[in-house]
């Protein structure tokens, strides 16, 4: 079994500040956030080494950078001139209320060049790369994803992309190894008219036609759908009481990356990803979970072939 690392591309991480209520006392929690950060955390929990390639700057960046150095992660950053993004949430009532946020300034051409070189080198060294999106599409140009995915893939790195809209379209041109997208993103971007199995199956074939070697669609309330080789599978996973529905799709991407890094098959990767996603919704922390619980849940995940006689 080959043991490789995973490079996670996090071009625009965020500082997250959350107010919580613990009994009769308010609590303040400060964490690193953003899609790629949550994915990196889950990949390390599942036993793979992560190199996180990122850009930070300004006062917020100085606070954020030490927080990104969590267990199992090698942090590689470039310094930005402008500030890093952030958000402040109030969860004292039990619901999330967004108080204020700033996705950050777009990266300058020089910063993007520096980050690109760093991510390319570390991705080739790792052998597997996860390309995650920014908090807002304006922060990082879509073409960076096309170039980075192309250059990594052409040099033997397995590229996993978890993107949407223009960023996804750009990355698909590079024919990535795995594409994961949520059904909400497909609906929002006009790629499907609804979240039915028939519509999403059609979307999976379209993703493959557009360049994806393997495609995965996460569905918030139902099992994911996966296109592996020529078969679509429904990923039947244990139902969990949700404490935090966000982050399940990111945990799924992380599970796929961690298993591939440890020499597993695509089917094993999808099952582990589904288990990681199912466990994630039971916890308030995004990209969190225990490896033993994920392993137990993985045994209960079934890949059920779907009849794919879908009109194109």
With tokens 């959350």, the residue in question is: 18
Model confidence at 92, pLDDT cuts 50, 70, 90, reads very high
Locate 186 and state its tokens. 């497909």
Dihedral angle at the C-alpha atoms of 40, 45, 47, 51, nearest 10 degrees? 20
Compute the mean pLDDT over every residue in the chain, rounded to the nearest whole number: 89
Eight-state DSSP code of residue 108: P
Locate 100 and state its tokens. 């204020």
pLDDT tops 60 at residue 244: no
Instruction: Write down the pLDDT at residue 241.
Output: 54
CA 269 – CA 99 distance, rounded (Å): 37
User: Number of H helices and number of E strands within the chain?
Assistant: 10, 14
Buried b (16+ CB within 10 A) or exposed e, 211-228: bbbbbbbbbeebbbbbbb
Reported as a single tens digit per residue, the pLDDT across 41-90 is: 999 989 999 999 999 999 999 999 999 998 889 999 999 999 899 999 99
Closest alpha carbon to 176 in 214, 221, 231: 214
pLDDT tops 90 at residue 223: no
Assigned CATH class of 9-305? alpha beta
Locate 128 and state its tokens. 């597997």
With tokens 């996993």, the residue in question is: 160
At a CB cut-off of 8 Å and minimum separation 6, what does 184 contact? 220
CA 10 – CA 288 distance, rounded (Å): 18
Instruction: Write down the pLDDT at residue 276.
Output: 84
Note whether 222 and 13 are within 8 A (CB). Answer: no
With tokens 């954020």, the residue in question is: 64
Cα 65 to the chain's mean position, in Å? 20
pTM: 0.91
pLDDT tops 80 at residue 97: yes
């Amino acid at each position: 079994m080959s043991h490789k690392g995973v490079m996670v591309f996090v071009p625009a991480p965020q500082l997250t500040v959350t107010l919580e209520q613990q009994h009769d006392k308010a609590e303040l929690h400060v964490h690193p956030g953003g899609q790629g950060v949550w994915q990196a955390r889950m990949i390390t929990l599942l036993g793979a080494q992560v190199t996180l390639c990122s850009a930070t700057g300004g006062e917020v960046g100085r606070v954020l950078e030490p927080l990104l150095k969590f267990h199992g992660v090698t942090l590689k950053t470039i310094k930005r001139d402008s500030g890093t993004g952030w958000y402040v949430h109030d969860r004292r009532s039990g619901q999330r209320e967004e108080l204020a946020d700033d996705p950050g300034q777009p990266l300058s051409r020089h910063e993007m060049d520096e980050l690109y070189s760093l991510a390319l080198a570390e991705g080739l060294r790792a052998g597997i790369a996860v390309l995650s999106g920014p908090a807002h599409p304006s922060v990082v140009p879509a073409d960076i994803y096309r170039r980075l995915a192309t250059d990594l893939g052409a040099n033997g790195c397995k590229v996993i992309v978890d993107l949407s809209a223009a960023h996804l379209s750009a990355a698909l041109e590079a024919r990535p190894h795995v594409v994961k997208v949520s059904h909400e993103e497909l609906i929002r971007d006009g790629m499907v008219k609804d979240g039915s199995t028939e519509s999403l199956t059609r979307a999976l074939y379209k993703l493959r036609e557009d360049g994806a070697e393997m495609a995965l669609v996460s569905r918030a309330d139902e099992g994911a759908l996966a296109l592996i080789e020529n078969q679509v599978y429904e990923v039947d996973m244990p139902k969990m009481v949700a404490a935090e529905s966000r982050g399940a799709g990111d945990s799924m991407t992380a599970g796929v990356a961690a298993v591939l890094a440890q020499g597993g098959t695509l089917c094993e990767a999808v099952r582990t990803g589904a288990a990681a996603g199912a466990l994630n919704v039971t916890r308030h922390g995004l990209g969190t979970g225990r490896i033993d619980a994920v392993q137990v849940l993985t045994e209960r995940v079934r890949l059920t072939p779907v009849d794919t006689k879908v009109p194109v």
